[in-house]
Structure 1
Amino acid sequence: MGRPRRPLLSKDRIVETALGLVDAEGLAALSTRRLAAELGVSGPSLYNHFRTKDEILDAVVDSVSAQVDLSMFEDDRDWRTALHDWALSYRRALTAHPHVVPLLARGPGRRPAALRLADAVFGALVDAGWPPVQATSVGASMRYFVMGAALGSFAGGVVDSPTEVAHDPAARSRLGQAHLLAERQRSVDDRAFEAGLAALLDGLALRFAVPPQARVRVQEG
C-alpha cells in the first residue's frame, strides 16, 4: 500500500493549521469549512477530533498559552525576578499571535495549558510567602497588565504623517514629532512595557515588605 499524499489528520495538525489561519487573517476567517479546505479534508472529518468549532478555538487559544515559558518558577529565582521573566515570555507569546488575545483575555476556562500557567504563578507566589488571597490578586494584576499591553500599541496608533498631527486640533505643539513613534513602534512599545512592568513589580515589592499579618488586615479592610 502506498503512502498517503497528505499527512494523517491529527489534533495537533488541526490546531497548527487553525492557528496559522487566525494569525494570517483573524478569528473571523476561521470556519470549519475553511479549515477543512486548508487541511485538504472533508469538513466532517474534523469532528472525529473536535466536537465543535468552539472546541477547536479553545485548543488554538490554549496552544498559545502553552508557548509561555514557566521554567522561571522551577528554579531558584526570587518571586520578583520570576514574575518579570514570566511576563516577558507571556507578552512574547501574545504579540506573536495578536488575533488570539481577545479570547485569551476571557480567562483560562478549562484549558489545560492556561490552567497550568495560572497554577504556576499562584504556586510560586504562595511559596514565596504571599497569602493565597493576595497571590490571586497579584497573579490577576500581572495578567491584566500583560494582556493590556498585548491588546494594543500606543506607538502604532499614532498617525504617521507630520502634517496630520500639525493640523489636528486635538494635538499640542509638543506632539509635533509624534508621527515618528510609528516608525519606532517595536522599541517604543518594548520600553513602555519594561517601564510599566518595573513600576508594577516595584510596587508589589514594597507591599511584600509589609509583614504578612498587616498585609492581610489591609486586604480585608
Structure 2
Amino acid sequence: MARPRNPLLSHERIVAAALRVIDEEGLAALSTRRLAAELGVSGPSLYNHFATKDELLDAVVDSVVGEVDLSMLGRDPWPEALRAWARSYRAALVAHPRLVPVLASGPGRRPHALRLADAVFGALVDAGWSPGEATRIGALMRYLVLGSALGSFAGGFPQDAAAYGDAYPHLGQAHLLAERQQQVDEGAFETALDALLIGLRAKFPAGARTQDQGSARRRKAGRSASSGAS
C-alpha cells in the first residue's frame, strides 16, 4: 500500500499548526482555509477533529497553558510557590503574546486552564488563606501576569530622540527604552511581583502564619529524610 503523501492529521498536529499561524500572522489569520494550506490538506478534513474554529482556538490556548509549571504549588511555601508559578505562567504567555486576549476571557472549559486555577486556589487555601481571599489573590496574580504579557511598555516608545524634545522634559532618555525592551519589561514585572508578595505577606492571617511555618518545617524535614534515604 502506498504511503500517504502528507502525514496523517492528528489533534496535536493541527493545534501546533494553528499556533504557528497565530504566532506569525495573528488571530485574524486563523481560518480553515489558511490552516488547511499550512497542513497541506483539504479544509473539510479538519472538521473530523474540530467542529468549530472556537473549539480549535480553545485547544490552542489550552496547549499553551499546559506549558505552565504547577509543580511548586502545594509543595513550596506559598510566597515562593506563587513567585515561581507566576514566572512560569508569564514565560509561556510571552512566547505567544497574540493569544493573550483570548486567555483574558477566563478558563472556560479548557482542562489545563481549570487545572491551573484549581492548583493555585488549593495551594492558597491549604496554606491558610480563606476561600474568598484565595479567590481574590488568584485573580490579582492573573491580572498581573496577563497584563505584563499583553504588550511591551518599553517597546511602545519611539526610538527617535527628536520625537520628545522640550515638550516632554522628563522623557529625555525615553528613546532608549525600545532597545532595552526585555530588560525593562521583565524588571517591571519582577518589581510588581515583589511588591505584591510583600503586601500579601503582611496581610497573611496571623493564625495561618503558624500553620504555614509548621507546614514548611514538615516539608523541609521530609526532603531531608528523603535525601538521607537515597
Residue in 2 aligned with 1:219? none
Residue in 1 aligned with 2:148? 149
One-letter amino acid matched to 1:144: Y
The answer to whether the 8 A contact 2:23-2:98 is kept is: yes
Residue in 2 aligned with 1:23? 23
One-letter amino acid matched to 1:175: L
Cα separation, partners in 2 of 1:125 and 1:74, compared to 1, 3 Å: closer
CA distance in structure 2 between the aligned counterparts of 1:80 and 1:209, rounded to whole angstroms = 14
Q: 2:175 aligns with which of 179, 182, 205?
A: 179
Aligned residues: 208
Question: Is residue 113 of structure 1 aligned with residue 107 of structure 2?
Answer: no
How far residue 2 of structure 1 moved from its aligned partner, in angstroms, is 2.7
How far residue 174 of structure 1 moved from its aligned partner, in angstroms, is 2.4
CA distance in structure 2 between the aligned counterparts of 1:5 and 1:206, rounded to whole angstroms = 62
CA distance in structure 2 between the aligned counterparts of 1:35 and 1:174, rounded to whole angstroms = 47
Residue in 2 aligned with 1:79? 78
Identify unmatched segments of 5+ residues in structure 1. Answer: 213-221
Q: TM-score, normalized by length of structure 2? A: 0.88
Q: 2:201 aligns with which of 200, 205, 214?
A: 205
CA distance in structure 2 between the aligned counterparts of 1:114 and 1:12, rounded to whole angstroms = 17
Residue in 1 aligned with 2:40? 40
**Superimposed CA distance per residue, residues 126-182 of structure 1 (whole angstroms, 9 cap, x where no aligned partner):** 111111111011001100111111112211111111111116x3x2x2210111111
How far residue 74 of structure 1 moved from its aligned partner, in angstroms, is 4.8
The answer to whether the 8 A contact 2:74-2:126 is kept is: no
Q: TM-score, normalized by length of structure 1? A: 0.91
Residue in 1 aligned with 2:188? 192
One-letter amino acid matched to 1:176: G
Identify unmatched segments of 5+ residues in structure 2. Answer: 209-230
One-letter amino acid matched to 1:32: T
Q: Secondary structure at the match of 1:6?
A: coil
**Superimposed CA distance per residue, residues 67-112 of structure 1 (whole angstroms, 9 cap, x where no aligned partner):** 111111153x100000000000000001000000000010000000
Residue in 2 aligned with 1:136? 135
CA distance in structure 1 between the aligned counterparts of 2:43 and 2:51, rounded to whole angstroms = 12
CA distance in structure 2 between the aligned counterparts of 1:40 and 1:153, rounded to whole angstroms = 35
Identity of paired residues, percent? Answer: 66
CA distance in structure 2 between the aligned counterparts of 1:112 and 1:209, rounded to whole angstroms = 32
One-letter amino acid matched to 1:91: R
Question: Is residue 62 of structure 1 aligned with residue 58 of structure 2?
Answer: no
CA distance in structure 1 between the aligned counterparts of 2:161 and 2:207, rounded to whole angstroms = 52
Residue in 1 aligned with 2:160? 161
How far residue 209 of structure 1 moved from its aligned partner, in angstroms, is 4.1
Q: Secondary structure at the match of 2:196?
A: helix
Q: Say what the alpha-carbon RMSD is for the aligned residues.
A: 1.2
